[in-house]
Structures are given as C-alpha cells and as structure tokens.
C-alpha cells in the first residue's frame, strides 16, 4: 500500500504532517552551523520562526533552561529583535525556503496583535500567521491574554480585522478549560488552532535550593507533557471545526501518529529537535511505516481515528 | 578567531576507551571526522545513542583531546546527564553533534597563560598541545577542589604547571586567581602575555578582572546550560556589554571584553 | 550537627515531613501482603487513606492505568466502599497505627462535604480531614468543584461549619490560577492546603490508537509533573498563611528537600510508592543527610528557603 | 486456593542467565527466597534496580520456572517496560517485589488441561511441573502467533502437548479454543477434567465459555496493567459478577465463575 503523507491546513498544502514548533528551530542559524543544506532540502513541511513582538525583547535573565524528568523547563521570555527586523532581515531569506512559512507573533499590549497582523498581511513570503497568546501582557500586569477566553477573543479579533492571511491561534494549556479558549479563538475568526504551548513549572537548584531560572518560573515541554497535550488535542479537535496542529512532546513517529489520531491535521516538533536537529526526518519516514503497518492510507484517514 | 566555520554533523560513535582520571572520567570516542576537524575550545553535544528519554537532551562537552581517530572527553559527573555519559562503557554508542562553537584564537604571539579550574581543564589540554606546537611559551595554572580532581593536572604534557587545590591536598593551597597576576608580567621587548581560561563562573570573573587590571587579553570558555547547541533555542545566553550573547554559536570562547562582568 | 526532622501542620505533630498521598498506599492491604509489620513500624509520618465519598463508588471502567514518560496516568475514579463502611470497618483498625490518621473525603454533591465532615467530626481516631475537591460533581455535570474558587469556597465552608477538626484542602492543578483557589479555600476556613492532585492527561493505545483508559482521560502523576507541582507549592505557600503539604513526583530525598524549600511544611509521596512500597524509608533517611550536608538543622529552617 | 498467604518482600537480585527462547527472552534471577516460597501462578513486580525513571514502575512478571536458587522469567518485549527487562544482562540487578498474588489451586484430582496463549505460557511451565509432581495427568494445549513464539513450547517437559500457531508455521493451524472441547471429555468413573489457562483476554473469554459449556472448572490467570501489585492503587481491577476485583491480590488466578465475561 502506498501511504500518502500529504495534509492540508485550510489552503496550506503540506507535503507531510510534521512542522516545527515556534522557538525551537532557527533555520537561519542552523543552516550556517549544520552541514545540511536546509534551503535545498528542508525537513519540516512548513517553517515557523521564533515568535516576534512589535518591539524587540531582550528576553529573560539567564539561566533560561533546565532539564527535568523527560522534560525541559525554559524561560526564554520571547527574546526577539522585533517585527521590523524580522520583516527586513529575515523574511527575504525565509522566502527562499521550499516550504510555506508561518510567522509567529505575540503582543505585549492587546492592540499589538492587530498592528503586527497588519504589518505582515501584505507579505507574500508568508503563508500564514500564528498568534502566540502566551506573551506576558503589560495591561494585565504580565498575565497572558491567552489565559482566558475573553482575552483570546480580543487578540484574535484584532488580528482577524487586520489580515486575510490564514490565521492560526496557539493555545496555552495553563487554563481550566482549553476547549472554551479554543472556541473563543475560532469564534473570533481563527482559521486553525495549534496546541499546546508549554506548561507552567519551576525547578530549584539542587544545591542552593533557589529557583534555577532567572525568571523563577518557566514552561515545561518535551515527553513529560505529552499526555497533557494529547488530551487537549483530543478534546479541542472534537469541539471546534477548525483544523488543529498538535504538539507537546512529539519525539517519535509513534507520537506523531498518536497526535494525528487524537484529531490533529498536522503535528509540530519542538524539544525533540534539541535532542537531534534532524529528528524530524526519522519521524516522517517512521510515520509512513506505521501508517502502512496499520493499513492507513492517508493523513485524512488517520486524523481523529481516536474519537 | 578561526574556528566555528566548519559545518557540524550528527554522528553515532563508539566508546573505545573509558578510564578514571581521579574524580573525572575520560572517554575516547571513535570519531575520525571530528578528530580531523575540531579546533581547541570547540565542543560537542553528546548523549547516549538510543531512544531513552531520561536524560532527554545531549550535554555540551568540550573536545578534551584528540589522538588520531579518537576524540576524548573528560567528564565531571555532577548531574544526571554527565553521570549517564560517564557511565558509558566500551562498545556503547554515543550520539554526538559537532564540532560546535567558536574555539580559542591561537594567533597571538605572547606567552600563553592557561588557567583552568576543576573540570574547566577539559578543553585546555588540546589547547595546550596546539599552543606548544605553534612554538608558543605556555604556562598552566590549574586549580582544583581537592587531590582527587587534581589528578587531571597530570594529563598536561610539556608545559610548566602551577598546581593549586582549595583544600591543600595537592600542590599549593589556594585559588588560581592568587598566582595569576604574577604570571602576567610582560618581559621587556616581548609581546604581552595572553590568558586562556576555562572554569567556574567565579573564577572566570576573577580572570576577567585581573586581565583588565594587568592590561592583557583573556579568552574564556563559558559554561551555560544548553538545549540545542546550534543557535536555535536562545537558552544559553550570557550578558554582553549591550545584548545577550549565545554561548553556543558566538562562544563558548569569548574575549572577556566582549562580555559583561558584574 | 543533629538534624531535627520533626515538623508540624498546625496542631498535628509529625515525626518527619513525609506522609503518603491519598489513594496510593492502602495500609490495610499492604500489611497483609508485605512482610513488614506496618502497624508496629509505619514508615510515613501520617496516614492518609484513599478518598471516600458518601455513597460507595465502583470507580471507572478498566483499564485504569498507563505509564507515560516518567509519569503514570490513572483514572481510578474514586473507587471506594463509602464513608459508612470506612467508619465502621476501617477506622477502628487505622486507629492502631502509630501515626496521625487523616481521612480524605470528596463529595459528588456540594453538600456532601458538609455531611461527610459532620460524620467524621466526632471520630477520635482522626487527627484531620482532607477535602478532595477534584471529585466529578453531579450538579456541575461532572465538573469538579475544585476547578474554581467559588466552588472550592462552597465546599470548604460547608465542611468548616460541620467540623472542628484540622481541615486540609487538596487542590487540583488543572486551573488557570491555583493561588486564587488556595486563597478561597483558606478564606472559607481551611487550616492547611495540600497540592497537587493529578494533572489532566490522556494516552492512546499504541496499536489501536483508541484511548487506553476506560474513562478516556485521566490524571498524570509522578516525576513528569514535579516541575508543575513545585511551582504551585512555591506560589501558594507565599500567598496563603496556612501550612502547605507538597506533592507531585516526590521520588527521592532530593525531591523532598526541594518541596520543603519551595515552601511546604510536609511532603507526600504517591506514585513513588508504586515503584517501591517502602521507598519512603530511604527518602526520610536521605533527607536528613541532605539537610546535614547543607547545614540545615530543622524542617522549619528549610521550609521556604527557595523564596 | 492455597497461595497468597506468604508475605512478599522487596529484593535486589542479580541476573544469572539470559537467553532467547524464540521471540521471548528467559532471564534467571538469583532469588533463593522467592525460589523457595513462590507458588505456581504467583508473580513478581520487577524492574531494573537503580534510579532511572523511565520506565518508572515495575512490571508484573509471572514466576515462570524455579531451578534451585534461580527464579526464571519469560519475557515478551511488547513495550518499554518489558523491553527494558528483556535487555537486562548477566550481572545486572533487578529490583523485585514478591511473591505476589494468588496462584493456581492444584488440589483437584481430575486430569489437568493446561491452556496457554503466547506469553501466557510463562506461568504454565512451573504449574505443569507441579501438577506432574502431584501425579496428575497433564495435557497442554499451547497456541502461538507464529513459529518464533512457538519455540517456547519446547520448554514444557514430560506432558502431552498440542501445539498450534495462527499462521500455521509450527504445529497445527488455529486457535487453542478449537481443540479444547475435545480435551474435556470426562472418562467414566474418573473425576472431571480441569482447565488451567493463561493468555490473551480473548482466549480466556473463549476458555471461560467452553468451561461453562462443558461443565468443567477453569482457573485463568488474568493480565492487567498494574502500578503497585499489592492492592494499594485499585488500578488492576477487572469486572466480577458483582463488583470489580483486584487482579493483584484477589488474582491473578481466578476461577472463571468468579469473573464477569461479557
Ligand atoms: C561549551 C561547554 C563545554 C563543556 N564541557 C564540559 C566537559 O568537557 N566536561 C564536563 O564534565 N562538563 C562540561 N560542560 C558542563 C556540562 O555540560 C554540565 O555539567 C552538564 O550540562 C550538566 O548536566 P547534568 O545533567 O550532569 O547536570 P544537571 O542535572 O542538569 O544539573 C546539575 C546541576 O546541579 C548543580 N550541581 C550538581 N552538583 C553540584 C555540586 N556538587 N555542587 C554544586 N552544584 C552542583 C550544578 O548547577 C549543575 O549544573 C561543558 C559545558 C559547556 C557549556
Ligand atoms: C500477573 C501478571 C503476570 C505477567 N507475567 C508476564 C510474564 O511472565 N511475561 C511477560 O512478558 N509479560 C507478563 N505480563 C504482562 C506484562 O506485565 C505486560 O506486558 C507489561 O506490563 C507491559 O508493559 P510494557 O511497558 O512493556 O508495555 P507498555 O508500554 O506499558 O504498553 C505496551 C502496550 O501496547 C500494546 N502493544 C504493544 N505491542 C503490541 C503489539 N505488537 N500488538 C498489539 N498491542 C501491542 C499492549 O496493549 C501493551 O500493553 C504479566 C502481567 C500480569 C498482570
Ligand atoms: C526553548 C523553547 C522556546 C520556545 N519558544 C516559543 C516561541 O517563541 N513561541 C511559541 O509560540 N512557542 C515557543 N515554545 C513552545 C513550543 O513551540 C511548543 O509549543 C512547546 O515546546 C511544546 O512542544 P514540545 O514538547 O515538542 O517542545 C518554545 C519552547 C521551547 C522549549
Ligand atoms: C492511582 C492513584 C490514585 C489516586 N487516588 C487519589 C485519591 O483517592 N484521592 C486523592 O486526593 N488523590 C488521589 N491521587 C492523587 C495523589 O494523591 C497525588 O496527589 C498525585 O498522585 C501526585 O503525587 P505523586 O506524583 O507523588 O503521585 C491518586 C493518584 C494515583 C496515581
Ligand atoms: S544552546 Fe540553543 S541557542 Fe545556544
Ligand atoms: S496493582 Fe495496584 S491494586 Fe492491583
């Protein structure tokens, strides 16, 4: 049986269902450092750069990383050079990638979502815009908009009014009811939801017993959170009509298979790329094998099989 | 600096030797490409090959020494990642990404003062060999917590060595910052001495201050937690004079003037 | 230096800071199965039986367990023989334990919290009552009361009116703001809060790709959730004046040390007892060693060291 | 039933032998107390000793065989827990809690029909030996997916064996439920035959039905996911006629009449 790995997120056609998670693969750096010619053969089916904000952000004070049991805690703090530098310096280079590019934006103020979306709307280099609603919001004293349905609705509405691009909203799992937030995003005009962002956590230095991270708390990712992510994808994909991008701990082909079965139309790999920057290649090949073994001919035939 | 332009690759390589060096463990990996390409001060991201998820991520490990096809690591097992690597047995396979980062700039002319603290001596062995090969005068100032760590000083060949321990159980008692200023006196008509250092943060801070005071150049190899090693995660930053700098691709070796020292 | 491991939760004096987490150690069964004489030498500093409800509950359909990366997903569903059987059959035997006994109760209806607390109030065998507010609530169509501050406040108020026993409220982490819920519990009269209960998650069968658990979703425990728990303990212990019992992934002495440093006055071990039913013994001994190494003479001197 | 009254203990024991048995792996552990105490059908909770947290929990493993001080396990590596056990090498240490659970009641008199499916043959070897020792007539009906699994049938000594595989690569083609009724014919004046079975759920369900149809007693060893093995977690339950039953302490061996079969 020939397995067809092609999948679609609305108008975005992807050669296979595995993309990268924002903030975990910097193609411009990786192409310099790694031997592979990533612009000739890009292993992910779409490219999502690190989240950008209106103004540049230095990010949180180091240390920013700590490994936990089967997980990684980080507090990068959305370090980025700002949307103007992104448009000016990065976009022209990213346009050379052989896959769709999905910009990720976040707002420190609610209206930033509208402003950023407007700035990206005319850019042909971009196939879609992902809204990261987990940015500390200044009006909310650092609380993220994405932590409640109303805040999410506001941010998404502003972006929706400012762009006709395919609009993805990336959900945080740190809420009582992620389905409610997903519904608000779709209600406000999101074309697609991606989930999950990292789970709130903290680590102490084993010796000094003080918080390790400069920012005290951080976000947990990796295999440790896979069950949390899988549940969220399973519930959200049944509750909203928009396609879902599933992520959170995807490390093996079996993981990708399960996220698709849980209801995702595509999956993203984050932390696993730190284990091996080209792990995606093995995941895509392995996914085809697992689908073949199970007699599943297409991603559409797999997506939601667990429901 | 002349390192960091060589493309990195992912390798699976076999452990050919494992031996204790006092409190540390030295592993020799069969890794001809890295042995051929790596520059002193560069590092690898290394973990046991295979699907086990705890430890999850590779750990940054300096290229400690090179012996024809073998690349050697020197490991201080301080946590679960380093412990897992230190327990690798002959025949086990490691997954290794490298060579990574910018190594030491060895183009200077003056006498080299190589300063190591604890496991920070790891990259300094290959460096010392390379400096000697270039005909530079090398003096090593190596500090350790105790006698068992100080065994690593015995690895250093052919250079003058000042050995110190904090507990006085080997060499002189004290910290490397104490004898260091005395090693930096510039001889009439000769180029200024230059520092190459790797060790705990507090030691590197002292080195930076002493270098500034004595007006000599110092290159230091910085230790931070890393997730990717290739510039993707922004997790490894340290403060520079203006902005944060990524240790993995802008370092790990920095000129002390390019960093911010509180 | 002699390390003093004694700690107190209000009037409850504990010989050391490690107790068991509800639902993870059944002393009546374990005493029959294991060689150890648990009634002569009980390794935990207090004993918390499995949560009981007013009416018996059969619990969820099997399968009820699945191991994840460094975690365990369960959906036991509060299987228990009901509070009457507990009072009649179990309490007299538990009274023979050489440590304080803390009953754990949950309500399927809000008023059950008051009714159960009243039933236990006069029982001298009990040193305290723990309210598990994560029980599926019939009035809320299966949603747990503990998922919002108001629901928690109602349940705790009813219990508080019905008992003068030391009242512990066990918090769920599946909320947007656990500090807010903790504050509501204390405001309603809780003497102590314990946290965290399990984190919502799901697993699929690797082959059939259907949910493994009979109940579809379940609760994640074990080392995977330790960073989530540590953050919650760190934040809650700084926000409320009541003492905190910390739990979630405590497996080693180092873990216990960290939860105490994060602000707990005692810690509970759950999943780790499944790895080894007497793991607690090593944790207590190891904790004393770690405190000695760090020059910390008492639990009071350690508690909150991370703040 | 006469088993399950022996107190269980936590042991660390060493792997003395490891050998493949077709698709399975047989480990021999040095565990004299368990070797002395364990009853056929009882199990252990076993994991690699040490602090590694993935796999996190021990896995239930039947006592497969006993040879003086050695306790043998037969392992089918279906997932990460069983794979980790199957990869244990001679000299490695396992953490083992046991013996646990209620084993097979061997007090009956009639001819024993021992029915195994796949890795379910594991506890049946010790059982068969014990039944033969008691002078009971034993007939084994052993079914496997394929030839590579069927190698395990070769472990069974001295009893009459019906061997079946699903793919026909060894023995007869088919499922154990097909020849089973034919083995249950009661001979005039003799006590009724009795079934002892272990295998996949679907097989045990068929066994329960056949036993009921033929009016013979059947004891089955049930497989469920377990966390604690000692009655603490309530995770291992299966439906009984009235209430759920804990497989770890009320089983794993049940009379089929004490369970509910949909
Ligand atoms: C470029 C680079 C090169 C490196 N080269 C080497 C090398 O050649 N050899 C080498 O051994 N290491 C090297 N390191 C350091 C090594 O990568 C870290 O030690 C390792 O990542 C820690 O991971 P872990 O899992 O062992 O410890 P973790 O479990 O992640 O953390 C342990 C942490 O606990 C703390 N800790 C542990 N033990 C103690 C203690 N006794 N006292 C105080 N604090 C303690 C430390 O903060 C340590 O980071 C290098 C680092 C970098 C950035
Ligand atoms: C009392 C008792 C005694 C036991 N004795 C033994 C014994 O002696 N020997 C032995 O090997 N096992 C025995 N088992 C079974 C063994 O405990 C389980 O197989 C084990 O717990 C599974 O853990 P795991 O981590 O390997 O698999 P997990 O990773 O937990 O799960 C793997 C799961 O995936 C599914 N699966 C995996 N591969 C396949 C496949 N190819 N096709 C379909 N589904 C698949 C199965 O549902 C399996 O449970 C016993 C179980 C019990 C309850
Ligand atoms: C180091 C790091 C940086 C991240 N940066 C971002 C980011 O800039 N924007 C974003 O939307 N998500 C960011 N994430 C979250 C990931 O995109 C992803 O949602 C999360 O890590 C879960 O996936 P994983 O378990 O595969 O890593 C980051 C995660 C990590 C670990
Ligand atoms: C199998 C199982 C059963 C549990 N039953 C209960 C329960 O009855 N009542 C309760 O309050 N918590 C229950 N819990 C939650 C634990 O008490 C504890 O809060 C949680 O498991 C986190 O701790 P751990 O990571 O140490 O297991 C249960 C957890 C597990 C794994
Ligand atoms: S380690 Fe990831 S950017 Fe440096
Ligand atoms: S395995 Fe825990 S009760 Fe049976």
Q: Is C233 left (phi over 0), alpha (psi -120 to 50) or beta?
A: alpha
Do B239 and B126 belong together in one domain? yes
Do B123 and B252 belong together in one domain? yes
Tell me the CA–centroid distance for residue A226 and ligand 3, in Å: 13
CA B52/CA D56 separation, integer angstroms = 12
Cα distances from A73 to residues A133, A186, A274, C231, C256, in angstroms, run: 19, 29, 13, 11, 19
- Bridge partners of B163, per DSSP, are B142
CA of A23, nearest ligand number: 3
Q: Is A160 left (phi over 0), alpha (psi -120 to 50) or beta?
A: alpha
CA of D222, nearest ligand number: 2
CA C299/CA C203 separation, integer angstroms = 38
Q: Is C200 left (phi over 0), alpha (psi -120 to 50) or beta?
A: beta
Angle between helices A253-261 and A279-293 (to 10 degrees): 60
CA C41/CA C153 separation, integer angstroms = 38
pLDDT band at A1 (very low <50, low <70, confident <90, very high): low
CA C269/CA A165 separation, integer angstroms = 50
Q: Which of C135, C185, C230, C253 is catalytic?
A: C135
Q: What is the pLDDT along chain D (262 residues), one digit of tens a residue?
A: 344 467 899 999 999 999 999 999 999 999 999 999 899 999 999 999 988 898 999 999 999 999 999 999 999 999 999 999 999 999 999 999 999 999 999 999 999 999 999 999 999 999 999 999 999 999 999 999 999 999 999 999 777 899 999 999 999 999 999 999 999 988 888 899 999 999 999 999 999 999 999 999 999 999 999 999 999 999 999 999 999 999 999 999 999 999 999 7
Cβ contacts of residue D142 below 8 Å, gap of 6+?
D115, D116, D117, D121, D124, D150, D152, D153, D156, D161, D162, D163, D164, D176
Nearest alpha-carbon partner for D64 in D28, D36, D106: D28
CA D50/CA B83 separation, integer angstroms = 13
CA B68/CA C156 separation, integer angstroms = 71
Q: Confirm or reject: Cβ of B118 under 6 Å from ligand 1.
A: no
- Around Cβ D90, how many Cβ atoms within 10 Å? 12
CA A90/CA A92 separation, integer angstroms = 6
Q: How many CA atoms lie within 13 A of A27 on its CB side?
A: 27
For residue A232, the chain C residue with the least C-alpha distance is C201
Is D1 part of a structural domain of the chain? no
Q: What is the pLDDT of residues A30-57, one digit of tens each?
A: 999 999 999 999 999 999 999 999 999 9
Nearest alpha-carbon partner for B226 in B38, B40, B45: B45
Do D246 and D118 belong together in one domain? yes
Whether the CB-CB separation of D4 and D71 falls below 8 Å is answered with no
The strand pair at A244-247 and A192-195 is best described as parallel
Cα distances from A186 to residues A117, A181, A246, in angstroms, run: 16, 9, 16
Got the DSSP string for D133-179? HTT--EEEEEEESSHHHHGGGGG--SSEEEEEESSSSSSEES-TTTT
CA B86/CA B13 separation, integer angstroms = 15
Q: Does D54 touch chain B (CB under 8 A)?
A: yes
Q: φ and ψ at B21, to 5 degrees?
A: -125, 85
Question: What's the burial of A35, exposed, middle or buried (CB within 10 Å: 0-12/13-18/19+)?
Answer: exposed
Is D77 part of a structural domain of the chain? yes
Is B3 part of a structural domain of the chain? no
C211 neighbourhood in chain A, CB within 8 Å: 234, 306
Q: What is the pLDDT of residues D167-186, one digit of tens each?
A: 999 999 999 999 999 999 88
Got the DSSP string for D249-262? HH-BEEEGGGS---
Maximum separation of any 2 CA atoms in chain B, in Å: 59
CA C71/CA D56 separation, integer angstroms = 7
Q: Encoding tokens for residue A130?
A: 């992902």
Query: A55-81: buried (b, 16+ CB within 10 Å) or exposed (e) per residue?
Result: ebbebbebbbbbbbbbbbbbbbbbbbb
Q: Encoding tokens for residue B131?
A: 């400096």
Q: Confirm or reject: Cβ of B78 under 6 Å from ligand 1.
A: yes
All residue ranges of chain B with pLDDT < 50 are 1-4
Is D105 part of a structural domain of the chain? no
Is D214 part of a structural domain of the chain? yes
For C14, the 3-state DSSP assignment is strand
Residue range(s) defining the domain that contains residue B75: 9-100
A171 neighbourhood in chain C, CB within 8 Å: none
D232 neighbourhood in chain C, CB within 8 Å: 24-26, 29-30, 273-274, 277
The whole-angstrom distance between residue C215's C-alpha and the CA centroid of its chain comes to: 22
CA C265/CA D200 separation, integer angstroms = 47
Domain boundary, last residue among D100, D124, D159:
D100
For D76, the 3-state DSSP assignment is coil
* Min Cα–Cα distance to chain B from C87, Å: 43
Q: Tell me what pLDDT residue A142 has.
A: 86
Tell me if the bond preceding D184 is cis, omega within 30° of 0.
Answer: no
The strand pair at D9-21 and C12-14 is best described as unpaired
Do D128 and D78 belong together in one domain? no
CA C294/CA C279 separation, integer angstroms = 22
Whether the CB-CB separation of A299 and A280 falls below 8 Å is answered with no
- Bridge partners of C168, per DSSP, are C130, C192
Q: Encoding tokens for residue B182?
A: 């005395």
Domain boundary, last residue among D100, D133, D151:
D100
Pocket perturbation via mutation, ligand 3, pick of A86, A198, A267, A283 by most ligand atoms within 8 A of CB: A198
- Around Cβ C132, how many Cβ atoms within 10 Å? 28
Do D141 and D70 belong together in one domain? no
Number of domains in chain D: 2
Query: A211-230: buried (b, 16+ CB within 10 Å) or exposed (e) per residue?
Result: bbbebbbbbbbbbbbbbbbb
Q: Encoding tokens for residue D167?
A: 């793919």
Do D38 and D89 belong together in one domain? yes
Cβ contacts of residue B3 below 8 Å, gap of 6+?
B39, B40, B41, B42, B101, B102, B103, B104, B105, B253
**Residue whose structure tokens are 């904000």:** A53
Domain boundary, last residue among B76, B100, B124:
B100
Do D76 and D118 belong together in one domain? no
Do B77 and B133 belong together in one domain? no
Tell me the CA–centroid distance for residue A96 and ligand 5, in Å: 24
Do B151 and B44 belong together in one domain? no
Q: How many CA atoms lie within 13 A of D166 on its CB side?
A: 8
B53 neighbourhood in chain C, CB within 8 Å: 69-70
Q: Confirm or reject: Cβ of D78 under 6 Å from ligand 2.
A: yes
Is D65 part of a structural domain of the chain? yes
CA C264/CA A149 separation, integer angstroms = 32
Q: Encoding tokens for residue C283?
A: 């944790």
Q: Confirm or reject: Cβ of B226 under 6 Å from ligand 1.
A: yes
Q: Tell me what pLDDT residue A227 has.
A: 98
Question: What's the burial of B167, exposed, middle or buried (CB within 10 Å: 0-12/13-18/19+)?
Answer: exposed
Do B138 and B243 belong together in one domain? yes
Q: Tell me what pLDDT residue A135 has.
A: 87
Do D21 and D93 belong together in one domain? yes
CA B90/CA B76 separation, integer angstroms = 18
Q: Between chains, do B53 and D54 touch, taking CB under 8 Å as contact? A: yes
Q: How many CA atoms lie within 13 A of B186 on its CB side?
A: 14
Residue from D47, D52, D89 to probe the interface with B (highest B Cβ count within 10 Å): D52
Domain with residue B92: its CATH number is 2.40.30.10
Domain with residue B213: its CATH number is 3.40.50.80
Task: Please give, one letter per residue, the 3-state secondary structure of chain A.
Answer: CCCECCEEECCEEECCCEEECCCCCCHHHHHHHECCCCCCCCCCCCECCCCECCCCECCCCCCCEEEECCEEEECCCCCECCHHHHHHHHHHHHCCCCCCEEEEECCCCCCHHHHHHHHHHCCCCEEEEEEECCCECCCCCCCEHHHCHHHHHHHHHHHHHHCCCEEEEECCCCCCCHHHHHHHHHHCCCCEEEECCCEEEECECCCCCCECCCCCEEEEECHHHHHHHHHHHHHHHHHCCCCEEEECCCCCHHHHHHHHHCCCCEEEECCHHHHCCCHHHHHHHHHHHHHHHCCCCEHHHHCCCCC
Q: Tell me what pLDDT residue D40 has.
A: 97
CA of D237, nearest ligand number: 6
For residue D55, the chain A residue with the least C-alpha distance is A70
Q: Confirm or reject: Cβ of D62 under 6 Å from ligand 2.
A: yes
Give all domains of chain C, ordered by start, each with its CATH number.
7-302 (3.20.20.70)
Is B209 part of a structural domain of the chain? yes
Whether the CB-CB separation of C269 and C21 falls below 8 Å is answered with yes
Q: Tell me what pLDDT residue B6 has.
A: 76
Maximum separation of any 2 CA atoms in chain D, in Å: 59
Is B4 part of a structural domain of the chain? no
For the question of residue C135 being annotated catalytic, the response is yes
CA A73/CA A61 separation, integer angstroms = 14
Q: What is the pLDDT along chain C (307 residues), one digit of tens a residue?
A: 689 999 999 999 999 999 999 999 999 999 999 999 999 999 999 999 999 999 999 999 999 999 999 999 999 999 999 999 999 999 999 999 999 999 999 999 999 999 999 999 999 999 999 999 998 888 888 889 999 999 999 999 999 999 999 999 999 999 999 999 999 999 999 999 999 999 999 999 999 999 999 999 999 999 999 999 999 999 999 999 999 999 999 999 999 999 999 999 999 999 999 999 999 999 999 999 999 999 999 999 999 999 9
Question: Model pTM?
Answer: 0.96
Do D129 and D229 belong together in one domain? yes
């Amino acid at each position: 049986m020939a397995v067809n790995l092609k999948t679609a997120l609305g108008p975005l056609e992807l050669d296979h269902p595995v993309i990268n998670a924002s903030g975990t693969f910097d193609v411009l750096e990786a192409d310099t450092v790694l031997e592979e010619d990533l612009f000739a053969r890009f292993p992910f089916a779409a490219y999502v750069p690190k989240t950008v904000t209106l103004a540049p952000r230095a990010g949180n004070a180091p240390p920013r990383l700590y490994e936990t049991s089967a997980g990684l805690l980080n507090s990068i703090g959305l370090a980025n050079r700002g949307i103007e530098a992104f448009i000016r310096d990065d976009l022209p280079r990213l346009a050379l990638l052989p896959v769709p590019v999905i910009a990720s934006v976040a707002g420190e103020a609610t209206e930033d979502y509208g402003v950023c979306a407007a700035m990206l709307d005319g850019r042909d280099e971009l196939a879609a815009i992902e809204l990261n609603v987990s940015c500390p919001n200044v009006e909310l004293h650092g609380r993220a908009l994405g932590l409640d349905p109303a805040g999410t609705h506001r941010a998404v509405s502003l972006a929706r009014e400012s762009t006709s691009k395919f609009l993805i909203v990336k959900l945080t799992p740190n809420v009582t009811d992620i389905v409610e937030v997903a519904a608000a995003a779709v209600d406000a005009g999101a074309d697609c939801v991606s989930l999950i962002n990292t789970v709130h956590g903290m680590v102490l230095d084993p010796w000094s017993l003080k918080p390790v991270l400069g920012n005290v708390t951080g976000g947990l990712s990796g295999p440790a959170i896979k069950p949390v992510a899988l549940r969220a994808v399973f519930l959200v994909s049944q509750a909203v009509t928009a396609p879902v991008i599933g992520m959170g701990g995807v490390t093996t082909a079996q993981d990708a298979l399960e996220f698709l079965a849980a209801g995702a139309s595509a999956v993203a790999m984050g932390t696993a790329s730190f284990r091996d920057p080209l792990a995606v290649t093995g995941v895509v090949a392995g996914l085809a094998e697992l689908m073949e073994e199970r007699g599943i001919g297409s991603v559409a035939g797999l997506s939601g099989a667990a429901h | 600096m002349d390192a960091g332009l060589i493309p990195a690759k992912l390798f699976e390589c076999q452990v050919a030797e494992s031996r204790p060096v006092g409190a540390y463990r030295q592993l020799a990996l069969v890794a001809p490409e890295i042995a051929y390409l790596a520059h002193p001060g560069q590092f690898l991201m290394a973990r046991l090959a295979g699907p086990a998820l705890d430890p999850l991520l590779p750990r940054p490990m300096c290229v400690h020494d090179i012996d024809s096809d073998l690349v050697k690591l020197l490991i201080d097992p301080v946590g679960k990642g380093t412990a897992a690597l230190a327990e690798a047995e002959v025949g086990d396979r490691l997954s290794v990404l490298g060579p990574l980062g910018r190594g030491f700039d060895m183009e200077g002319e003056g006498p080299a003062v190589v300063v190591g603290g604890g496991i920070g001596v790891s990259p300094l062995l290959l460096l010392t060999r390379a400096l000697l090969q270039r005909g530079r005068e090398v003096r090593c100032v190596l500090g350790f917590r105790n006698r068992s760590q100080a065994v690593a000083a015995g690895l250093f060949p052919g250079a003058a060595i000042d050995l110190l321990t904090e507990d006085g159980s080997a060499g002189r008692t004290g910290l490397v910052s104490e004898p260091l200023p005395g090693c930096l006196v510039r001889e009439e008509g000769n180029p200024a001495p230059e520092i190459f250092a790797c060790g705990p943060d507090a030691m590197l801070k002292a080195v930076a201050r002493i270098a500034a005071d004595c007006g000599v150049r110092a290159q230091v190899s910085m230790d931070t937690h890393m997730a990717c090693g290739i510039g993707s995660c922004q997790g490894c930053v340290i403060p520079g004079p203006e902005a944060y700098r990524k240790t993995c691709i802008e370092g790990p070796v920095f000129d002390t003037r390019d960093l911010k020292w509180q």
